[in-house]
Amino acid sequence: MGFLTDSTHAHIATWVVAIVIFLIAALGKQSKGLHMTLRLFYILIIITGGALFFQYQTNDPMLYGMKFLGGILVIGMMEMVLVRQKKNKPTGLFWILFAVFLFITLFLGFKLPIGLDFLA
């Protein structure tokens, strides 16, 4: 059970830090170093999320697969917002998609058996 909580906490920590870095980069002045740091966190999120996926996807493969896909889409929208901002292109649609995919992914993540139950 210790590995479960360590893996879950590592995954949560990586995506929380990534979202904070993303918001700083998107709402503040972008820097190449900040963007590259965020890309490192994308990799860490995928590694920790993939480890959890392959360890627990036998419990409910469809929901775990949808959460994995949602996580990839969140990362994609984060990257699209930053790249389009850098090119001075409109980002409104990608912000909306980021928020929608983030909500879906968080909902699924907390609903799944290894998620946290805030109301318990």
Q: Flag whether pLDDT at 5 surpasses 60.
A: no
The pLDDT of residue 58 is 79
Listed in sequence order, the DSSP H helices in 1-120 are 2-27, 32-56, 61-86, 92-111
Pair of tokens at residue 57:
């996807």
What's this model's pTM, rounded to 2 decimal places? 0.87
Q: How far apart are CA 97 and CA 94, in angstroms?
A: 5
**List of residues 6+ apart from 5 with CB closer than 8 A:** none
Q: Flag whether pLDDT at 93 surpasses 90.
A: yes
Residues 26-76: tens digit of each pLDDT: 999 878 999 999 999 999 999 999 988 888 777 778 888 899 999 999 999
Q: Cα–Cα distances in Å, from 18 out to 11, 40, 50, 63?
A: 11, 9, 16, 23
- Which of 73 and 6 is assigned the larger pLDDT? 73
Q: Which of 6-15, 34-43, 59-68, 111-120 has the lowest mean pLDDT?
A: 111-120
Q: How far apart are CA 26 and CA 33, in angstroms?
A: 13
Number of CB atoms found within 10 A of residue 52's CB: 21
